[in-house]
């Protein structure tokens, strides 16, 4: 999707007052949430934060959102704890292909419980929850590439 197409798309959404929109074309994915940020990602989490983001989409240079922006609305809405990736690598939801996932939405986990694996340099790293609570959201997809600080799970922490 080039900038012109993107601009037309956004103008259309604004005109029709559509607040959320998602489109996948091959390995190009566009997700737009109005009032927050524009996020266009190939299958890798690419991050080009623009210093000033106004509420209409900012088309200046490139597009994306630093992890903080996507987590802020989530977290403030419900006071959720976000588990972030401590390393760069590939996210896997289960210990092996075909095996059941470590956790699913609704599970209650303890601090230190393994939530997922992130593979880095052929090593499988088990990622543990830093809090106890209920898994509310999973924020990445299986075999997605993740960067340092990437939000993985939203947990409603037990008080």
Partner 1 sequence: MFNKILIANRGEIALRVICACKELGIKTVAIYSEADRNALHVRFADEAICVGPPRSADSYLNIPAVISAAEITNVDAIHPGYGLLSENANFADVCETCHIKFIGPPGDVIRLMGEKEKARQAMKKANVPILPGSDGVIPNAEEAREWAKQIGYPVIVKASAGGGGRGMRVIRAEGELEQLFNSAQAEAAAAFGNGNLYMEKFIERPRHIEFQVLGDSNNVISLGERECSIQRRHQKLLEESPSPRVTEEMRSRIGEKLENCLSAIGYVNAGTVEFLMDEDGSLHFIEMNTRIQVEHPVTEMVTGIDLVKAQILLADGANVKEIIPNVERRGHSIECRINAEHPEKFTPSAGKIKVFHTPGSVGVRLDTAAYAEGVIPPYYDSLIAKLITHGKDRDEAIMRMQRALEMFIVEGVYTTIPLHRRILADEEFRAGNTDTKYLERLFAKLQEQRAKEAVAQS
Residues near partner 1 (CB under 8 A) are 42, 44-51, 61-62, 66-67, 87-90, 120-121, 145-150
Query: Nearer to partner 1 by C-beta: 44 or 108?
Result: 44
The CB-of-35 to partner 1 minimum distance in angstroms stands at: 22
The DSSP-derived string for the chain is: --HHHHHHHHHHHHHTT--EEEEEETTEEEEEETTS-EEEE-SS------S---SSPP-SS-----HHHHHHHHHHHHTPEEEE-SS-EEEESSSSTTSPPS--TT-EE-TT-EEEEEEETTEEEEEEPSS-EEEEEE-S-TT-EE-TT-EEEEEEE--
The CB-of-41 to partner 1 minimum distance in angstroms stands at: 10
The CB-of-133 to partner 1 minimum distance in angstroms stands at: 24
Query: Nearer to partner 1 by C-beta: 57 or 135?
Result: 57
């Amino acid at each position: 999707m080039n900038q012109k197409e993107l601009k037309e798309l956004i103008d259309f959404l604004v005109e029709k007052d559509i607040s959320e929109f998602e489109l996948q074309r091959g390995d190009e994915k566009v997700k737009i949430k109005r009032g927050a940020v524009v996020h266009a990602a190939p299958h890798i989490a690419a991050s080009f934060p623009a210093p000033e983001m106004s509420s209409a989409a900012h088309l200046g240079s490139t597009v994306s959102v630093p992890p903080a922006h996507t987590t802020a609305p989530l977290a403030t809405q419900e006071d959720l704890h976000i588990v972030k990736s401590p390393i760069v690598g590939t996210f896997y939801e289960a210990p092996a292909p075909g095996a059941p996932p470590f956790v699913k939405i609704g599970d209650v986990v303890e601090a230190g419980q393994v939530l997922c694996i992130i593979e880095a340099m052929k090593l499988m790293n088990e990622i543990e929850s830093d809090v106890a609570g209920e898994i509310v959201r999973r924020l990445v997809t299986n075999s997605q590439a993740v960067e340092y600080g990437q939000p993985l799970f939203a947990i409603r922490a037990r008080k």
